[in-house]
């Protein structure tokens, strides 16, 4: 086995491969772009080397740079993951030329399968069914019309160099063909540098069923069963599962044998996947072969008990497959959903920024392969997939139930995700019945998942309790409240104190969300250490006693009478982000008086005043201490931000209650710098 392997990838798959190497005692070397300096795969690796700027073309796709890093640092092999260079035959050849083992198939097999038409010819010659079509040299409209008439409309035009849906066109009639042909050729040329197209009969609303295969360098080839990946959005897979409910044992064996023949016909070695379309009548057609480890490989791992990355490493190291086809016995049912940083409310556009909280469910039968952790950045430069949630159970209904549980216990704050869509699918009757096809997302209405849900009272309550808890801890220790950055002993997340009432005064909180105002009133419970609450003017939970306990990583455990709820929270400026039962909410606090308005405020009610930083910056000077008496218009704190100095000025005369920061502190926008008592009742 290798002693040292370089992983030429990023994100969850790099983390996955690094873990597999380390478990085998192999040193895992990472490469990273300037945007990924602090990324999860860099933290996980045994060593990491910067290979260039953020754009993939200048880093993760730079063959010469990656190969030279591998050679310079003593790697014996390179694992390409998926995407990037994983299906680039030139990269595989460059590895070989540099004396490195490419953990993947031989370049010739990659080249053959890279051409969809050559692949079809090769597997058809090996007796694998393919969709009837035309894949000849003649690319003119008349030839295509003649061939389409022979095949029978509707037909599909596809790019020979393509895959993944680019350059694809459905044609229903002879009249439509010339225009569709020109468009498909243009698109293929632009996307792949090759305008060659071919024709196939259209298979209507098929299932996408793919077979995982493994081939060693000694002529052994087996399949590990199938994955049904029918649920896709714009050729992006969303849900994958194994087994496919539409296969009988006989059909599975037949398609598996066809996949093995397809792999053999290409001289294939390593892990690979043969994609098929399966029509309503149980007929199957080879589509293409993916010559890489796939995103959805964990589904197969959970039903077979095999580790595909281990096996890839063993095969690449020249070891024979350690089992025969008969010894592979899939058990139970596994389902994977892909968590994308995409905003359903905003047309599923990628959502970027800091992931304030990423909290994955942990339970038997639940696996989370993630490329991020709390505090990580999601940038515009790479694929928006954050993580994969994979569940396994003895049968499909149990797996779906486990999936629902896992999705309800997943918290992502800071970037929008497709989690609402995933939860809607898991609850949808046709999905639950196994009635899926490639048309599933178009033929089912998931628009409810693209709208913000109303704010549950529990969410407003959680935010108020979180603020009360944070303030209580900070007050108790004379320290600053949680600001999303601190990890010190007085961070309420780690302080493990229960929300207690220090002052005994009723506390009022106001928030807005989606144009609606929400209010929470917390009345200290004279009998205990909790509160009685009302939300939006109504008593909450019949005035049960309520308390909250922070448990780290943004987790807050609420006790509402006998009921327990967990949620995750984070602060971002004036916004408080909450994850509750799998849904994310953003509640905006009333903007505290900033420098401008404080200086000119005359209509603000007197009371307890929190003076906040108008923007992120560094505290340059603090002129007052706790207990000081101040005049109106006195400069209390000077903040440096945006290359300027900003004075934080007292709006009224009063007494300084709290000075959470000292000179030199770096603070986020909205951070409270001074709390003043101006005489009248406290207001939040």
- Report, as residue numbers or ranges, the catalytic residues: 292
* CA distances (Å), origin 497, targets 193, 501, 544, 628: 62, 12, 20, 29
Q: Which two structure tokens, joined as six digits, stand for 556?
A: 């807050």
Minimal distance in Å, beta carbon 200 to ligand MV4? 4
CA dist., res. 606 & res. 323, Å (int) = 78
Among 341, 259, 269, smallest CA distance to 300 is for 259
Strands (E), 321-428: 333-340, 342-343, 349-350, 353-354, 357-359, 366-370, 377-378, 385-393, 411-413
- Alpha-helical regions (H) of 567-665: 595-600
* CA distances (Å), origin 531, targets 261, 333, 444, 559: 69, 45, 44, 10
Q: Does a cis peptide bond (omega within 30 degrees of 0) precede residue 205?
A: no
- DSSP letter for 60, please: T
Spell out a b/e string for 113-142, using b for 16 or more CB atoms within 10 Å of the CB, else e. bbbbbebbebbeebebbbbebbbeeeeeee
Minimal distance in Å, beta carbon 229 to ligand MV4? 7
CB 600 within 8 A of CB 642: no
Among 123, 330, 131, 127, smallest CA distance to 223 is for 330
Minimal distance in Å, beta carbon 295 to ligand MV4? 14
Q: Which two structure tokens, joined as six digits, stand for 626?
A: 């706790």
Minimal distance in Å, beta carbon 234 to ligand MV4? 9
Cα-trace Rg, the chain: 30
CA dist., res. 329 & res. 304, Å (int) = 6
- DSSP letter for 89, please: H
Provide the angle, in degrees to the nearest 10, between the axes of the packed helices 116-125 and 249-265.
Answer: 110
Nearer to ligand MV4, 226 or 288 (CB): 288
Minimal distance in Å, beta carbon 238 to ligand MV4? 10
Beta bridge partners of 538: 535
Minimal distance in Å, beta carbon 166 to ligand MV4? 9
CB 440 within 8 A of CB 230: yes
Nearer to ligand MV4, 232 or 634 (CB): 232
Residues 6+ apart with CB under 8 A from 43: none
Minimal distance in Å, beta carbon 192 to ligand MV4? 13
Q: Given the rule CB under 6 A, which residues bind ligand MV4? A: 131, 156, 163-165, 200-203, 206, 208, 232, 235, 277, 287-288, 438
| CB-side neighbour CA atoms (13 Å) of 72 | 11
Among 580, 604, 577, 603, smallest CA distance to 592 is for 604
Residues 6+ apart with CB under 8 A from 201: 131, 132, 133, 151, 152, 154, 155, 156
CA dist., res. 391 & res. 408, Å (int) = 13
Q: Which two structure tokens, joined as six digits, stand for 648?
A: 């934080």
Residues 6+ apart with CB under 8 A from 455: 513, 514, 516, 518, 585, 587
Q: Which two structure tokens, joined as six digits, stand for 625?
A: 């201490």
Minimal distance in Å, beta carbon 439 to ligand MV4? 7
How far, in whole angstroms, is CA 291 from its chain's centroid? 24
Minimal distance in Å, beta carbon 274 to ligand MV4? 12
Nearer to ligand MV4, 434 or 607 (CB): 434
Minimal distance in Å, beta carbon 287 to ligand MV4? 5
Q: Does a cis peptide bond (omega within 30 degrees of 0) precede residue 243?
A: yes
Q: Which two structure tokens, joined as six digits, stand for 316?
A: 């690449």
Nearer to ligand MV4, 279 or 319 (CB): 279
């Amino acid at each position: 086995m290798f002693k040292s392997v370089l992983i030429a990838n990023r994100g969850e798959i790099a983390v996955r491969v690094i873990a597999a190497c380390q478990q085998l005692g192999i040193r895992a070397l990472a490469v990273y772009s300037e945007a990924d300096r602090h990324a999860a795969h860099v933290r996980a690796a045994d060593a990491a080397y910067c290979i260039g700027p953020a754009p993939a073309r200048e880093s993760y796709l730079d063959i010469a740079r990656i190969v030279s890093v591998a050679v310079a640092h003593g790697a014996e092999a390179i694992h390409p993951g998926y995407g990037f260079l994983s299906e680039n035959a030139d990269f595989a050849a460059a590895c070989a030329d540099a004396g490195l083992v490419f953990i993947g198939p031989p370049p010739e097999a990659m080249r053959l399968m890279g051409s969809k038409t050559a692949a079809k010819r090769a597997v058809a010659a090996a007796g694998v069914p393919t969709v009837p079509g035309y894949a000849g040299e003649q690319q003119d409209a008349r030839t295509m019309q003649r061939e389409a008439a022979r095949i029978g409309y509707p037909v599909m035009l596809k790019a020979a160099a393509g895959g993944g849906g680019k350059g694809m066109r459905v044609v229903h009639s002879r009249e439509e063909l010339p225009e569709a042909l020109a468009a498909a050729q243009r698109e293929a040329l632009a996307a792949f540098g090759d305008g060659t197209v071919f024709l196939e009969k259209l298979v209507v609303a098929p299932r996408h069923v793919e077979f995982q295969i493994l081939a060693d360098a000694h002529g052994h080839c087996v399949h590990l069963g199938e994955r049904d990946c029918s649920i896709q959005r714009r050729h992006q897979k969303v849900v994958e599962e194994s087994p496919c409910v539409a296969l009988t044992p006989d059909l599975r064996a037949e398609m598996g044998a066809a996949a093995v023949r397809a792999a053999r016909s290409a001289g294939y070695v390593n892990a690979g996947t043969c994609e098929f379309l399966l029509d309503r009548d149980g007929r199957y057609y080879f589509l293409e072969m993916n010559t890489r480890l796939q995103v959805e490989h964990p589904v197969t791992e959970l039903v077979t008990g095999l580790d595909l990355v281990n096996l890839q490493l063993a095969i690449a190291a020249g070891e024979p497959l350690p089992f025969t086809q008969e010894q592979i016995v899939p058990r139970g049912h596994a389902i994977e959903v892909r968590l994308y940083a995409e905003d359903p409310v905003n047309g599923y556009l990628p959502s970027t920024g800091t992931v304030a909280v990423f909290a994955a469910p942990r339970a038997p039968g639940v696996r989370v392969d993630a490329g991020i952790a709390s505090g990580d950045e999601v940038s515009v430069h790479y694929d928006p997939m954050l993580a994969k949630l994979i569940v396994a159970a003895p049968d499909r209904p149990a797996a779906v139930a486990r999936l629902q549980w896992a999705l309800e216990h997943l918290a992502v704050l800071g970037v929008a995700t497709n989690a609402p869509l995933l939860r809607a699918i898991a609850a949808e009757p046709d999905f639950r019945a196994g009635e899926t096809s490639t048309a599933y997302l178009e033929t089912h209405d998931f628009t409810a998942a693209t709208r913000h849900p109303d704010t549950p009272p529990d969410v407003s309550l959680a935010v108020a309790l979180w603020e009360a808890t944070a303030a209580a801890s900070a007050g108790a220790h004379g320290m600053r409240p949680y600001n999303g950055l601190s990890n010190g002993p007085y961070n309420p997340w780690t302080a493990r104190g229960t929300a207690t009432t220090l002052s005994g005064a009723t506390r009022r909180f106001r928030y807005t969300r989606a144009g609606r105002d929400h209010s929470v009133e917390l009345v200290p419970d004279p009998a205990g250490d909790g509160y009685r609450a009302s939300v939006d003017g109504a008593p909450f939970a019949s005035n049960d006693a309520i308390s909250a306990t922070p448990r780290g990583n943004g987790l807050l455990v609420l006790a509402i009478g006998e009921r327990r709820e967990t949620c995750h929270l984070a602060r971002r400026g004036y916004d408080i982000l909450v994850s509750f039962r799998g849904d994310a909410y953003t509640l905006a606090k009333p903007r505290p008086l900033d420098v401008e308005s404080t200086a000119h405020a005359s209509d603000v009610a007197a009371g307890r005043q929190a003076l906040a930083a108008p923007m992120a910056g560094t505290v340059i000077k603090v002129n007052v201490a706790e207990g000081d008496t101040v005049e109106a218009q006195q400069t209390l704190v000077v903040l440096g931000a945006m290359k300027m100095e900003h004075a934080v000025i007292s709006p009224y005369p009063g007494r300084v209650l709290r000075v959470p920061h000292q000179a030199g502190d770096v603070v986020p926008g909205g951070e409270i710098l001074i709390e003043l008592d101006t005489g009248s009742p406290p207001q939040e």
